[in-house]
Amino acid sequence: MSLKGFMDDAYRGRTRARRLETRRGEMVFSLEDLADRVGTKPSRAEVEALVPGDGDQTLLAQLLAQEPKKAHQILWGYLSSIAADASPVPLKLAARDYAGLELCRGTLILAGARDHLGERMSGGRIFVQGPAGDYLGQEMSGGGIIAESCRDYALRNMRGGFAVLRGDARNYIGIGNSGGRIVLRGSCGERAGWLMRGGSLRIAGDAGDYLGLLMSGGRIIVRGRAGRRAGWRRKGGTIRAGGYGLEAADGVLGLD
Partner 1 sequence: MPDPRKKITALIRSLEELRLHVGRKDLSIGEERVGAQLFFPLANACLRGRAVLLYGGMGANKTTLINLLGSSFQSLELDEVENLMVTGHPEQTEEKIIGFLDPRQWSRDSSETSVLWTPWARSRWKLINEINRFPSGKQNLFLEILQKRKISYAGQIIEPGDTCYFATMNPEFSATYPMDEALLDRISVCVPAQQPDFLAGLALAERERSVHELAESLPRFSPQEFDALPGLVAGVGISSRVELAILCLLRDFTLCERAPGFDKTQLSKARPSLGLCPGCHYFNNPEAICWQVDEGLSDRVRQDLRDFCRAMAFLLDRDADLEVLRAVAPYVIWHRVTPVRSALERPPYYGARRLAFVSELVEKSINRTLNERAEMNLLFSQAVDGELDISKALQELSAFDDPIARMDFIPALERMR
Interface contacts to partner 1, rule CB under 8 A: 2-4, 6-12, 14-25, 27, 29-30, 32-33, 36-37, 39
Closer to partner 1 by Cβ: residue 29 or 54: 29
Q: Which residue number, 15 or 58, has a Cβ lying nearer to partner 1?
A: 15
Residue spans of alpha helices (H) in 125-244: none
**Residue 102 Cβ, how far from partner 1 at the closest point, in Å?**
23
Name the minimum Å distance from CB 237 to partner 1: 48
CA dist 224 and 32 (Å) reads 49
Residue 27: CB minimum distance to partner 1, A = 6
Separation between Cα atoms, residue 202 and residue 195, nearest integer Å: 16
| Smallest separation (angstroms) from partner 1 to the CB of 17 | 7
Identify which of residues 23 and 70 has a Cβ nearer to partner 1 in the complex. Answer: 23
* Shortest reach from residue 39's CB to partner 1, in Å: 8
Q: DSSP labels for 20-69?
A: P--PPP----SHHHHHHHH-SS--HHHHHHHS-TTS-HHHHHHHHHS---
Q: How far is CA 97 from CA 36, 46, 100, 159, 190, in A?
A: 20, 20, 9, 21, 24
Taking the C-alpha atoms of residue 74 and residue 99, their distance in angstroms, rounded to an integer, is: 9
To partner 1, the closest distance from the beta carbon of 80 in angstroms equals: 23
Q: Which is nearer to partner 1, 24 or 70 (CB)?
A: 24
For residues 62 and 141, which CB has a smaller minimum distance to partner 1 in the complex?
A: 62
Residue 202: DSSP 8-state: E
Residue placing its CB nearer to partner 1 in the complex, 22 or 89: 22
Residues forming a β-bridge with 239: 220
